[in-house]
Chains A and B, each alone.
Chain A
Amino acid sequence: MVDERVLTVPGSYKEIRRICEFVAAGAAQAGFDETTIFHLELCCDEASTNIIEHAYGEEGVGNIVIRYRLSDDDFTIVMQDNGQAFDPGAVPPPPAIAKNEASAEELTSQLRIGGLGLHFIRNLMDEVHFTSDRRQGNQLIMIKKLNAS
Chain B
Amino acid sequence: MAESIVNIYVEDLKRVELVRVSGRIDSSNAAQFDGVLKEVVSRKNNVVLEMSEVDYISSAGLRAMIALLRECKKHKGDVRLATPSERVVEVLSLAGLDSLFEVYDSEATAVGSF
Contact = CB atoms under 8 A, between A and B. Distances in A.
Given A100-B102, A107-B66, A17 B95 contact: no
* A100, A120, A124 pick with most chain B CB within 10 angstroms: A100
B113 interface: no
Give the size category of A's interface with B.
Answer: 35 or more
A17 B28 contact: yes
B109 interface: no
Give the size category of B's interface with A.
Answer: 20 to 34
B58 interface: yes
Nearest to A14: B28
B13 interface: no
Contact of A17 (B3, B71, B96, B101): B3
Contacts of A104: 70-71, 73-74
Interface of B: 1-4, 24, 26-28, 56, 58-60, 62-63, 66-67, 69-71, 73-74, 87, 90-91, 94-97, 99-102
Interface of A: 13-14, 16-18, 20-21, 35, 38, 41-42, 45-46, 48-49, 52, 94, 96-100, 102-104, 107-108, 110-111, 114, 116-117, 119-120, 123-124
